[in-house]
Structure formats: structure tokens, C-alpha cells
Amino acid sequence: MRACSASPRRLLSYLRYLRDAKGQVWIAILAGILYGISSGFGIPIILEFSSKNLFGDTRIPTSMLVVLTLLPVFVMLVRGISGFLSSYYFAACGQRIVEGLRLEIFQKIQRLHLGFFNDYPPAEVISRSIDASTMIQTGIVNIAEDIVTQPMVLLGATGYLAYLCVQQRDLIALLLFLSALPAFIFPIRRIGVRLRRKSEQMQGRVANVIDKLNHNLAALKEVRAFCLEQAETERYRLACRNFANAYLKVVKYQLFVTPMVEILSAAGVGFTMFYAYRKGLSLEVFMSLATALYFGYDALKRLGVISSEIQTSMGAVDRIESILGEREQICDSQNPVELEHCRGEIKFSDVTFSYGKKKPALKNIDITLNPGKKYALVGSSGAGKSTFVNMILRFYDPQQGTVFLDDIDLRLLRQRDLREQIGYVPQDPALINDTVFNNIIWGNPKASYDAVVQAAKAAYAHDFIVQLPQGYDTIVGEGGSCLSGGQRQRIALARVFLKNSKILIFDEATSALDSESQHAIYQAVEAIATDRTVIMISHRFSMMSMIDEALVFDHGEIVERGTHEELLAHTTLYKKLYEKQQVKNEHS
């Protein structure tokens, strides 16, 4: 019960997004108040007044008749305009809220550590940021509108009943009406508790449907190659069925509120009819009394629906706040150190790191990478090479030890200042569904067209770009789907060359290139590597001729280091990896 009472306050906390829309808020509130009063009080009293004069014993003048016939039109005009303004401006405020909420979630996602996305896959994050925020918007709009208008309707109806009871010198009807209120409240609260739980389950099923669709779209070739269309269809059908079942349970509890309140309302009207007959009330008084009771009970019904909407929205609030409340593990220092001139020296001092409770991915790493040198990270999969790079980019912080850039602890630098000094090309580069030009200019948004072309030439991408249908203005498709793997990697390389950073990191960046293109890329890297720190992760040994030093990783430790010739002559693991690569090349 305590959670239920706190729910409106948690929902209404999102009204903070309306700080710049105070005018719209006030129009919506004032229009809602006018709508409520004109409904609950205006219509019954106009009905009574008109009935007494139109159907009385004496004839009324034509002017009076015109006034009486125009009064209902005037009241309904006021009610209609105020209702429209209230609904429209509450809807506008709702859009402000969902826009602000989605932006805040998106900004939060940009700051969250990468480990968060191991627990929350993309489909789950999408569901929470889009679907849940929409449910909060709908809940707040409906709740805010009804919480303004319906109490006014109820207040107006109660005011008319009080006026009528004073006029008839009988307060029993008013007391009967007020005594019925607890009968509405108790069952509504009971239903609300179950509705919130069912709503949370339904939203989880939505995420599952999105997840199944997302996975299928990401593996279209594999699904067809392994003839998994039917199996995937069945998995998706089951996810949709589970969502449908969860949705119907929510609908069941939502719809149960309306007939329950209507039955109680009908009982109230029945008692009123019995009371009016026993008291001998006139027809016009009874009609206006019944109208006031209708508006009063309808307001109670709407307030009951508010309770169910609150509980439905609270499931969405919990899902949203699980993201907004997530602790930001990688944060900027409150007193950051300025990085005035970056030399590119990287130093690991006794660094140990593990993902969660797993075995350490890095153990007691002590090494310095000097500017102007080119390093290769070598080792089998899972040896710690990518984690080593993640530490440099500060995607994670070490649990023990320190990583330095130019003798400055990375945790003392602004993340933006650090990453502006690093050009990073992953094995599977991300391209946006935009032009080739806009994908390359990611590296330096202020760069000129000529600079983009020069970077593309350096990455040996210019020749294939100009042969595309619209050249640099060609849309690459979602994730670069209109390009080959090698073309995507060349665009990613051009992006890094355009950035012109002091530290260059290539994580299997040439894995999709043929031998000729790979050699050309190595030449390009060597040409721009002067006074830069270059780190290359690769399972290929063809680039070792340009490397100053290779670091051999094994189970999170750097077990061997040296030039290609030194390692072949004096080490075992490096030689074993090299010979394995040679055998693979012979059979390819």
C-alpha cells in the first residue's frame, strides 16, 4: 500500500521536463478546471433552471425562451472548447516529457560503462527507453488531465447536490452520495496492486519480442544458410504469444475497474430514485439530481481508472529508473588535469583487471609504450589483448594499478580529452546509415571536403568510393550493408587518418582486406606513424616487418616481448603462434 501511495509522486517527478512549458501547463490546468465545473455544476443547474421555466404552469416571453434555448448551447460550447484546450495542451506537455525523458536516457547510455550492456542487451535497452517512456508519457498525460478535470467535475456535482439539498431542506441525499465514496476506493486499490505486477511482466515480454526480431535481423545470412527460418519463426511466434497473454492480463484488470464502478454507480442512482419517489420530488428536480449524480459517479469512475493507469505506468517507471539509477563507474574527475600537449607515452603500472567475478583478464601488467614506436599485440583469443586496449581507451578502469598517459593518471583526465588523442579502428567498424562522406567525417567534424578525400586516399578507399553510384554522397546502408567488409574497414581507417591523433589503435583492422590492400594499408600507417604511438592487434604476422616491438599475451600476462627476429630466435610461444599462422597460410 505504501508503494501505491508513493506512485503518483514518482510519476509526477517527471514534470521537471516542463520547466520551459509553464504557459502550456497553465492553459491545460485552467481549461481543465473550467471543463470540470461546466460539466459537474453547469449542466445540472442549467437543466433544472430550463425545465422549471419551460415546463412550468405559466407561459414565458419569447426573449426568455431564446435565452433558455441558448443557455445549453453556451454551456456546451464552454465545455467543448475548454475540454479541447485541456486535452491538447496536456498532450503537448506529454510530448515534452517523453522527449526530455528519452534524451536523458540516451545521455545516460552514453556515460554507462560497457559492462552494463552485458546485462542489458540492445533489445532490452530499446524497450526501456522507447516503450517504457511512451507508457510513462501516456500515464502522465491521462493522469494529469483527469486529476485536474475529474475532481472539478466531482466538486461541481457535489456543489450542485449541496445546493439542491439546501433548497429542498434535506441533506440526506448529499450524505448518501458522500457515504458511497469508500465503496469505490477500496476495490480500486486492491486491483491496482495486481495491475502493477502484471504490467511489469508485460513490458518484459515486449523486450523479448524485440530481442528475437533484433537477433534475426542481425543474422539473416546465417539463418538462411542453416535453414533455420522455421525454427526462428517458431521462436518469434512463441515470444509474441507470451506477450499477448501478458497484455491480456493487464487489459483484464484495467477493464474490470469500469464495470465495477458502473455497478456501484447504478446502485447509487437506484437509491436516488427510491429516495426521490419517497420524498415526492418534482420531475425537473429529479432530472437535475440524476444528472449531477451521473457526472459525480462518472468522475469517480475516471478517478478509479487513474489508479489503474498509475499502476500500469509504475511498471514502466521501474524499468526506466533501472537505467537512470545505474551507477556511472567511469566518471570524469571533479578536478581534471588539462592535457596541453600529448606526446603519446602510455604506461601500465601493476595493472590488474577482471570482468565481474571471472579470472583476471590482465594480471600485474608493467610496461611503457613510447611515442614514435609501433607495437603489435600478439596472442591467442582471450589472452588479454583487447582488454589491454580497453584500458588505454578507458572503457574500463583497472581494479589494481594505474594507467598513465604522459605520466598523468587516466582517471585524472577528462574522457573527451583522452579519447580525442586516440584513433581507434575495431575489427568490425560501425557505420551509420548515411553517406560515405558523413561516415568518414566522424573522425573530424570540422574537416574540409579536401581533407576527407586525402584521408580516404591514405586509407586506399578513394578509388572504390568514386566508383560508387553517387561517389562520396552514396548511402552506405545500415551498418554499411551496401559495402563489402574490406570497404567498411577502409572507410573506418580513413576516419582515423582524418582524426590525426597521437595514438593509433588497430584491432584486427585489416582482417577483411586482401594481401595487396593490406600491404598498402601498412604503408599508409607507416607513413603517418611518425611521432605517434601505434598499437596493432593482429593474428597475422605479415605486418611484423613494420613493427618495432611485439608484446606476446598469454592468460592476461605479457610473457614475451621483442622484435620479430628476437622472438623467433629466443622464445617459444611467439614461435609457436608464428608457425601455426604459416601452416594456415599454406592451406589457404
Q: Is the pLDDT score of 12 beyond 50?
A: yes
Residue 530 and residue 496 in one domain: yes
Look up the domain containing 476 and give its range.
Answer: 346-586
Residue 436 and residue 314 in one domain: no
CATH of the domain at 60: 1.20.1560.10
Residue 339 domain-assigned (yes or no): no
CATH of the domain at 424: 3.40.50.300
Query: Cell triple for residue 447?
Result: 574537416
Question: Which residue, of 324, 356, 382, is where some domain finishes?
Answer: 324
Residue 285 and residue 353 in one domain: no
Give how many domains the chain has, as a whole number: 2
Residue 414 and residue 317 in one domain: no
Q: Determine what percent of the chain is predicted with pLDDT higher than 90.
A: 19
Residue 333 domain-assigned (yes or no): no
- Closest C-alpha among 387, 397, 418 to residue 330: 397
CA–CA separation, 515 and 510 (whole Å): 9
Q: Kindly give the interhelix angle for 43-54 and 62-111, rounded to the nearest 10 degrees.
A: 170
DSSP conformational letter for 513: S
**pLDDT tens digits, residue range 128-173?**
777 777 777 777 777 777 777 878 887 787 787 777 777 766 656 5
Residue 181 and residue 39 in one domain: yes
- With 0-12 / 13-18 / 19 or more C-beta atoms within 10 angstroms meaning exposed / middle / buried, residue 183 is middle
**pLDDT tens digits, residue range 276-335?**
677 776 777 777 777 777 777 777 777 766 766 676 677 677 777 778 888 888 888 889
Q: How do the residues of the chain divide into helix, strand and coil, expressed in percent and rounded to 5? A: 65, 10, 25
Residue 219 domain-assigned (yes or no): no
Query: Cell triple for residue 6?
Result: 508513493
The model's pTM is: 0.69
- Cα–Cα distances (Å) from 495 to 134, 315, 453, in that order, read 36, 42, 11
Tell me the average pLDDT of the chain. 80
Q: Is the pLDDT score of 6 beyond 50?
A: no
Residue 582 domain-assigned (yes or no): yes
Residue 340 domain-assigned (yes or no): no
Residues 6+ apart with CB under 8 A from 109: 125, 129, 323
Residue 307 and residue 400 in one domain: no
Residue 308 and residue 161 in one domain: yes
Q: Is the pLDDT score of 482 beyond 50?
A: yes
Residue 312 and residue 367 in one domain: no
Residue 366 and residue 481 in one domain: yes
Residue 310 and residue 406 in one domain: no
Residue 230 domain-assigned (yes or no): no
Residue 546 and residue 447 in one domain: yes
